[in-house]
A and B are shown apart, each in its own frame.
Chain A
């Protein structure tokens, strides 16, 4: 993971806004992207992540603000003259060219002579382990093979930055995992910057060094996957990422350990750091991650506890998500190991207790 603290960014967005008519798809965005990092742009549909990517590629022009590559403003530069190849969601492979010709395309545009083109294309096909498909018609390839062709085509010109627009969204689940590995490995080997747009949390977290969470044209939070997961800085991020239970409440006791009054009870929690201070009576959001909750059939000893009624469970493998209802009707989620759940033998409507440690609570101020 590159050191992002001192280096000058490779790409920077400065106050970039994009309007379509009266709607702002992207609003006053500031973002620095550093050389060699794997950056994910993540968010729900319509959050502006794809628009941002397209602006970087030169396919859309910002209404306001500047985009800089290596410190130089590139707003007016045509897509063809930036070196920002993109891997498309639909892959956009040319159906009238075979695999090798597709890969050579970028080199052909740069007027590289045929023999060199062919050699470089074959090198890349080799690297992506599809050299034997070179002369094939692309309509005969499987989804995973087409992916690799699209990758080779974008990387053959050896750019410094590669843009990816939800490239795995059309693949089968098992292929997705495999391709994630390929992309990760490739990025580390090449040492170039990948900017990856997705709406899938698992993809973003699995591969990236930093994640940018976007919503409605604005950046909500930037950080490493772990930071975002454990320390969301806004209610939106807490809702969108991970599996969190969020309670809003007012501070009823200040100090190193706070007491917060919520509709389902009074809980104690400790702020994450000395910088977070909450005064008496201020409102905040208490975030309890579902995987930090213990469940039991008897009243637990921990101070922070709630009584829940079991509704259903969702089995995703070794971890099960339990959906429950609190006394005031609010939803509550717990993630437990399948084995532990089996031991409890819960049935629909059964009552159990959920508890968590004060130090496991994450606090977000209400305004965020």
Chain B
């Protein structure tokens, strides 16, 4: 179907180039995290785990990882919940102003994070909520919920529209039907959204930087180190961060696409 003509080869080569561009920074981080030189460049030094040891013995960094973990998990739970409710409302109901409601719900990713950070900081400071872990959580939930909503909504688009009424018809109240039909059906999407929102929250630095005060998440710590001099510890931290968020995103995608490729509507 696709011939090995020169233009096709060129195009495919181009794709490879793009992927190299996208993944080089990530791979570099992994490579230099185990490189002995203080100033990363070629030729490489020898293999060492020195940098990992350094960061693992730093209490500030441990604390940052704990904060990050706490924040990501809390955000994941809340954002997935809100995203699910929003998606279900969109699926089930039609009401005036729905278009406006939806655009507001999906707007957060389009506002630059710097501005969101400033806005949240200003507001939370005014009501004395700034600088706490829950301030980061609140800000992140706003940011991440649209992603959860999109994932769940995609799954709901696959459902046989008769399933919910069938449950009612067989004696289920609307709440029961939600519990027995909608949620089981959406399970892969919910799990996927959970992982995805955790990843987004885990990586998010701009808003966290503005809002976190003394409770720093890992990206905030990275930002602060970056503001100093080149520090090879960044590579080690970075590699760990990459490993965590990439795993979360990979898992999210695998869950979603494996579990939702089986036939989902029956009868026809």
A residues neighboring B (CB under 8 Å): 57-59, 78-81, 84-86, 88-97, 105-106, 108-110, 138-139, 143, 146, 150, 153-154, 157, 170
Contacts and interface: CB of A to CB of B under 8 A. Distances in A.
Given A92-B267, A150-B267, A78 B168 contact: yes
B267 A79 contact: no
B169 A57 contact: yes
14 contacts: A58-B169, A59-B168, A78-B173, A79-B169, A85-B169, A89-B267, A90-B265, A90-B268, A93-B266, A95-B263, A96-B184, A97-B184, A105-B170, A170-B267
Contacts of A138: 266
Contacts of A153: 170
Given A95-B185, A106-B171, 11 more contacts: A57-B169, A58-B169, A59-B168, A80-B173, A80-B176, A81-B171, A85-B170, A94-B184, A95-B265, A138-B266, A170-B267
B108 to A, nearest CB: 32
Contacts of B184: 94, 96-97
B267 A146 contact: yes
Contacts of B171: 80-81, 106, 109-110, 157
B181 interface: yes
Contact of B170 (A89, A95, A96, A109): A109
A29 to B, nearest CB: 21
Range for the number of chain B residues in contact with chain A: 20 to 34
A287 B40 CA distance: 96
B58 interface: no
Interface stretch (B74-82, B86-94, B111-119, B159-167): B159-167
Contacts of B173: 78, 80
A88 B161 CA distance: 11
A97 B170 CA distance: 15
Contact of A59 (B165, B172, B268): B165
B169 A59 contact: yes
A47 to B, nearest CB: 21
B95 to A, nearest CB: 16
Contacts of B180: 105, 108
B127 interface: no
B168 A95 contact: no
Nearest to B159: A95
B160 A90 contact: yes
A59 B172 CA distance: 13
Nearest to A86: B169
